Amino acid sequence: MTWDGSLAISALQAAYASGTTTPTEVARAVHERLTAYAALDPAVWIDVVPLEALLARAAELEEAYEGRDKPALFGVPMSVKNSIDVAGFKTTLACPDFAYVPEKTAPAVERALEAGALLVGTTNLDQFATGLVGHRSPYGTPRCVYDREYISGGSSSGSAVSVGAKLVSFSIGTDTAGSTRVPASFNGLVGLKPTLYSISAVGLVPACKLADCVTVLATSVDDARQVYDVLRGYDPDDSLARPYEKIVAGLVPWREEGVRFATPPEELLGVLSAPYAKLYKQAVDRLERGGLQRAEGFSYEPAEEANNMLYGSSIVAQRLVAFDDYLTTHGTSTMHPVVASIFSASSGFSAVRAYQDLFLLASQKRRVELEFEKADVLVVPSTVTHWKVAEVDEDPLGRNKVLGSFTHFVNLVDLCAISVPAGTWTNDSGNEMPFGLTFVAPAGRDAEIMRLAERFAEMQ
């Protein structure tokens, strides 16, 4: 028996247990795939671990665990979004002038490495993690794995492509306003945006510190769960960290049957493209046939109001705080022009306005909490359509903004979410393109939305 080449975590675990393959063989295969794929899409990576170093790491794992129980991610290849520190690799945020080489690896990445993961490289992103298109980087535009005329989505663009192209088993990404859920949807992946601050954000260069979240992109819910179980943990050095166990302890478990779900109102769903509208309706019908119940009286209004705040309030000024030193030295002159315009529009808010917006957002968060007394889960399209690269060029800001129609509010009001594949549509080139559905629930419901996502996949 030989290894079939699958990078699914459970498949690798079985192959290692049976002796069908070794981390060294997987490392060689992954490096060959990476090299071949670079000819098709050279914009996926910012830094790649040299083959010699990758093989050395594989050999180290083999020696360390010879005849011993293997750790959870033993020999599992991964990538890391290049806004998260990895010691010895430059952290760029897709801006060469900003780049630095950290001395320490981010705790989230370190946890994966301690669990035996094989780091393959760091991935491209929308510059300064600003964007949902994956088309704002001087390192190039990673393309959708299903059709390279189309965007991959952002800002975790390279992360999504590295998983979707089967170059790695999973990627550690980030999500502030949809930066994992959108690219997961576009590339047929599972994108887990877990409970805020349940994974350490130390070593993550913030885009919007109060809403940034370390995430997982994988090919299955089970893989995402296994990685999340490794990454999750209270970090006392993270000023925003909170013990996940305490959050979960205060929750009443969902009933086995009759889970109640809510959806956005019909008038908001009008923004969906025709294929997406059809697939979303089919997904909702599937949930009802699968035994879920429509929630009664759920109001989407506070979520929609929070969604509109991201780019219409002082909340965006957080990015000016994160990059104050860089902006003082460089200004916006060397930024990607679209990103520069966004940074410029983020300034000019008064302290009074900032507090007004914080108080308003707190009110919306409480209103959302009350609405979730009427529903267990909110079910939304992961995004509204899939643009070609050329279409984004026609209207970079407008077409980026619309992609977040059902994503921006999630972190702002402290919810967890998971995007999963939910059907396909055929584009004008005849290619089957994926559609993503997102399950959204209150903080601490990560395990339940993952179980629901798996149940959804089994529904007819």
CB atoms within 10 A of CB 31: 20
Give me the catalytic one of 137, 155, 162, 346.
Answer: 155
Strands 415-426 and 45-48: unpaired
Closest CA to 136 of 162, 165, 156: 156
Catalytic residue among 152, 171, 179, 185: 179
DSSP letters for 197-228: TSB--TTBPPSSTTT-EEEEEESSHHHHHHHH
Told to judge if 198 belongs to the known catalytic residues of this protein, a careful annotator would answer no
171 is catalytic: no
Kindly list the strands in the beta sheet with 432-442, ordered across the sheet, starting from the edge strand earlier in the chain. Answer: 45-48, 118-123, 77-81, 170-175, 213-218, 190-193, 415-426, 432-442, 377-381, 260-262, 293-294
Measured in degrees and rounded to the nearest 5, phi and psi for residue 136 equal: -135, 60
Locus of tokens 């498949």: 11
155 catalytic? Reply is: yes
Query: Rounded to whole angstroms, how far apart are CA atoms 421 and 187?
Result: 9
Q: Pairing relation of β-strands 377-381 and 432-442? A: antiparallel
Of these residues, 81, 162, 169, 419, which one is catalytic?
A: 81
Cβ(406)–Cβ(435) below 8 Å: no
- CA–CA gap between residue 339 and residue 325 (Å, rounded): 17
Q: Tokens 């991959």 belong to which residue?
A: 152
**Which residues carry out catalysis?**
81, 155, 179
